[in-house]
Amino acid sequence: MQFAPTEEQKMVREMVAKFAETQIKPIAAELDRTHRHPEEICRQLGEMGIMGVAVPTDYDGAGMDNVTYVMALIEISKACASCGVITSVNNSLYGYPIKAFGTEEQKKKFLAPVAGGLVEGCYALTESGAGSDAGSLKCRAVLKGDKYIVNGTKTFITNGNVARYCVLAATTDPALGYKGVINLIVDLKETPGFSVGKIEEKMGILASGTSELVFEDAEVPAENLLGTPGQGFKQMLSGLDAGRSGIGSQAVGIGRAALEDALAYAKERVQFGKPIATFEAIQFKLADMATELDAAELLLLRAAWLEDNHLDFEKEAAMAKYYAGDVAMRAAIEGVQIFGGYGYVKEYPAERHMRDAKITQIYEGTNEIQRIVVARKLIGMR
Task: List interacting residues with ligand CAA (CB under 6 A).
Answer: 85, 89, 93, 125-126, 132, 134-135, 158, 178, 233-234, 237-238, 240-241, 314, 363-365, 369, 373, 382
Nearer to ligand CAA, 89 or 332 (CB): 89
CB of 374 to ligand CAA, least distance (A): 10
Indicate the residue among 12 and 137 with the shorter CB distance to ligand CAA. 137
What are the DSSP calls for 207-218, one per residue?
A: TS-EEEEEEEEE
- Minimal distance, residue 19 CB to ligand CAA, in Å: 22
- Rounded least distance, CB 345 to ligand CAA, Å: 29
Output 260 or 308, the one with its CB closest to ligand CAA.
308
Least separation in angstroms between CB 280 and ligand CAA:
39
Torsion of CA 257, 263, 264, 268, to 10 degrees: 150
Which stretch of DSSP H or E encloses residue 124?
A: strand 121-124
Using DSSP bridges, classify how beta strands 270-271 and 140-144 pair: parallel, antiparallel or unpaired: unpaired
Question: 364 catalytic, yes or no?
Answer: yes
Beta bridge partners of 130: 127
Of 138, 148, 123, whose CA–CA distance to 170 is shortest?
Answer: 138
**Angle CA 210–85–75, to nearest 5:** 155
Nearer to ligand CAA, 231 or 278 (CB): 231
Number of Cβ within 10 Å of residue 34's Cβ equals: 11
Query: Which burial class, exposed, middle or buried, applies to 368 when counting CB atoms under 10 A from its CB (0-12, 13-18, 19+)?
Result: exposed
C-beta closer to ligand CAA: residue 326 or 364 = 364
- Whole-angstrom CA distances from 360 to 151, 152, 327, 334 are 30, 27, 10, 17
Residue 202 CA to residue 209 CA, distance in Å, equals 9
Q: Which of 120, 297, 314, 364 is catalytic?
A: 364
- Residue of minimal Cβ distance to ligand CAA: 365
Nearest C-alpha neighbor of 123 from the set 178, 73, 152, 165:
165
Tell me the catalytic residues.
364
